[in-house]
């Protein structure tokens, strides 16, 4: 009989490895669900607005059930460790901003991470990186909430639920494109790639 994974183990299995970024998403989602008094969404009951595309987003998907495929994970490319989770049923929402410096590595950790990114680490350095990851994960996991983040209830303009649109065949490449994403080019319906740059007059 297979042993059931804990929520944290499910996040690791989905993401593929343990890292500090993942634990940030996990801890944030745990706080948000507790503040809202809800559990993981099966459908689109919850909405998550994430302001970065870092590792923690995978934990957000696992913990909250908000995913890109269901249309209730909204990505805003702002480069912030800020997450807003809302409950459609109660219209309550909580905004969680991770405090600056939580992810700041010590000089040795930074040096090791630079080597990992460049692909030039030795096996000993790789093991040292994994050890540093585990230390950081343990630190963040046990950090008191008020030292980890700022939590505030907010008013959220909930986006409409995901819709299924008709598919239009691009007149140039022949690929199907959802109707709201097609443009008219030389009198023909084309996809965004074939349409080229939008006409903005420099605005």
Same domain, 147 and 192: no
On whether both 97 and 170 belong to a single domain, the answer is: no
CATH number where 184 lies = 3.30.60.20
Do residues 79 and 172 share a domain?
Answer: no
DSSP string, 32-93: HHHHHT----SSSSEEEEES--STHHHHHHHHH---TTTT-EEE-----SEEEEEETTTTEE
Q: Give the model's pLDDT for residue 131.
A: 85
pTM: 0.81
Q: Is residue 65 domain-shared with residue 148, that is, in the same domain?
A: yes
Domain that holds residue 24: 7-102+143-153
Q: What is the per-residue pLDDT for 3?
A: 80
> Is residue 193 located within the same domain as residue 96?
no
In tens, the pLDDT along 45-86 reads 999 999 999 999 999 999 999 999 999 999 999 999 999 999
Q: How many domains does the chain have?
A: 2
Instruction: Please identify every stretch of the chain with a pLDDT value under 70, giving residue numbers as ranges.
Output: 1-2, 197-203
CATH number at residue 92: 3.30.1330.130
The pLDDT, as a whole number, for residue 98 is: 96
């Amino acid at each position: 009989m297979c042993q059931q994974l804990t929520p944290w183990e499910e996040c690791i299995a989905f993401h593929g490895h343990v890292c500090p970024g993942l634990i940030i998403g996990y801890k944030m989602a745990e706080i948000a669900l507790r503040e809202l008094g809800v559990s993981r969404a099966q459908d689109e009951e919850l909405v998550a607005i994430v302001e970065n595309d870092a590792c923690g987003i995978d934990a957000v998907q696992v913990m909250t059930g908000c995913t890109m495929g269901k249309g209730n994970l909204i990505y805003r490319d702002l480069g912030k460790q800020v997450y807003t989770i809302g409950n459609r049923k109660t219209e309550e929402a909580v905004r969680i901003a991770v405090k600056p410096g939580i992810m700041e590595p010590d000089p040795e950790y930074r040096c090791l991470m630079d080597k990992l990114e460049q692909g030039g680490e030795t096996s000993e350095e790789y093991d040292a990186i994994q050890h540093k990851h585990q230390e950081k994960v343990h630190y963040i996991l046990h950090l008191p909430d008020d030292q980890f983040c700022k939590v505030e209830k907010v008013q959220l303009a909930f986006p409409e639920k995901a819709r299924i649109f008709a598919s239009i065949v691009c007149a140039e490449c022949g690929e199907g494109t959802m109707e709201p994403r097609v443009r008219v080019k030389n009198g023909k319906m084309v996809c965004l790639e074939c349409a080229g740059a939008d006409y903005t007059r420099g605005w």
